[in-house]
Homo-oligomer: A and B are copies of this chain.
Amino acid sequence: MRDDYPDRTLAGVVDTSRSPYARLRTVPLRAVRLGEGFWKPRRQANVAAGMPRFLRDMEEHGVVDNFRRAAGRRDVPWRQASYASESDLYKWLEAVGFVLQTQEASHLREAAEAIIEDLAAAQGPDGYLFLHTSLSSPEGYERFSQLDRSHELYCAGHLMRAGIAYYRATGEERLLQVGTRFADYLCTEFGPGKREVTDGHPEVEMALIELYRATGERRYLDLAGFFLSLPQSAGNLPPIAQRPALVGHAVRSGYICCGGADWYAETGDEAMLKNLRYLWQDLVRGKIYLTGGVGARHEGEAFGEPYELPNARAYAETCAAIAHAMWAWRMLLATGEAQYADTLETILYNAFLSGVSLSGDEYFYVNPLASNGGYRRVPWFGCNCCPPNIHRMLASLPGYFFTFSGDGVQLHLYDACKALLTLPERTAVRLDVRTRYPWEGSVEVVVTPAVAAEFTVSLRIPAWAEGALVQVNGDPAEAEAVPGTYFNLRRLWQAGDRIHLRLPLKPRLVESHPRVGENRCAVALQRGPLVYCFESTDNPTVSVPDLALAPPSGDTTGGFVAESQPDLLHGVTVLRGPGRAMCMLCAAGGETRLYRTWGCGPYPARYEQEVTAIPYYAWANRGDCTMRVWLPLTHESGGVAACPHHLSGEATA
Contact = CB atoms under 8 A, between A and B. Distances in A.
A474 B539 CA distance: 62
A545 B307 CA distance: 11
B523 A520 contact: no
Interface stretch (A24-32, A168-176, A285-293, A639-647): A285-293
Nearest to A283: B594
A361 to B, nearest CB: 28
Nearest to A603: B514
A598 B308 contact: no
Interface string A582-608: 000000000111111111100100000
Contact of A595 (B310, B510, B554): B510
A452 interface: no
A509 B308 contact: no
Contacts of A603: 513-514
A594 B285 contact: yes
Interface stretch (A298-306, A326-334, A388-396, A429-437): A298-306
Interface in A460-516: 508-516
Contacts of A595: 290, 510-513
A508 B632 contact: no
Contacts of A546: 514-515
B310 A310 contact: yes
Interface in A599-646: 599-600, 603, 632
A72 interface: no
Please tell me the size bucket of the interface on A: 35 or more
A284 interface: yes
A312 B517 CA distance: 10
Contacts of A370: 517
A145 interface: no
B598 A511 contact: yes
A313 interface: yes
B592 A310 contact: no
A449 interface: no
Contact of A509 (B288, B298, B598): B598
A509 to B, nearest CB: 4
A297 interface: yes
A525 to B, nearest CB: 10
Given A520-B520, A632-B520, A596 B515 contact: no
A146 interface: no
Nearest to A598: B509
A593 B313 contact: no
Given A312-B305, A546-B515, A598 B520 contact: no
Task: Report copies per complex.
Answer: 2
B520 A599 contact: no
A342 to B, nearest CB: 11
B517 A518 contact: yes
A15 to B, nearest CB: 33
Best-buried of A515, A593, A595 by chain B (most CB within 10 Å): A595
Contact of A285 (B514, B592, B598): B592
Interface string A537-569: 000000001100001011010100000000000
B516 A594 contact: yes
Contact of A596 (B288, B510, B545, B554): B510
B597 A509 contact: yes
Contacts of A307: 594
Nearest to A548: B514
A178 to B, nearest CB: 38
A340 to B, nearest CB: 16
A311 interface: yes
B522 A599 contact: no
Contact of A372 (B305, B558, B592): B305
A311 B305 CA distance: 13
Contacts of A451: none
Contacts of A305: 312, 372
A521 interface: yes
B599 A556 contact: yes
Nearest to A521: B521
A352 to B, nearest CB: 18
Contacts of A511: 595-599
Contact of A308 (B312, B553, B597): B312
A518 B515 contact: no
A308 B591 CA distance: 17
A487 B172 CA distance: 88
Contacts of A593: 285, 513
Best-buried of A284, A511, A554 by chain B (most CB within 10 Å): A511
B556 A517 contact: no
Nearest to A523: B598
A551 B514 contact: no
Nearest to A509: B598
Contacts of A286: 594
Best-buried of A297, A522, A593, A600 by chain B (most CB within 10 Å): A593
Contacts of A311: 517
A313 B312 CA distance: 14
Contact of A299 (B298, B304, B632): B298
Contacts of A517: 310-312, 370, 517-518
16 contacts: A284-B594, A286-B594, A298-B298, A299-B299, A305-B312, A308-B313, A508-B598, A509-B597, A510-B598, A511-B597, A513-B593, A514-B603, A515-B545, A517-B517, A520-B522, A556-B600
Given A299-B299, A513-B594, A553-B599, 12 more contacts: A297-B298, A305-B312, A307-B594, A310-B310, A370-B517, A512-B594, A513-B593, A514-B546, A514-B603, A514-B632, A520-B632, A523-B598
What are the 8 A-B residue pairs with the smallest beta carbon separation, nearest first?
A509-B598, A517-B518, A521-B521, A298-B299, A511-B598, A299-B299, A523-B598, A510-B595
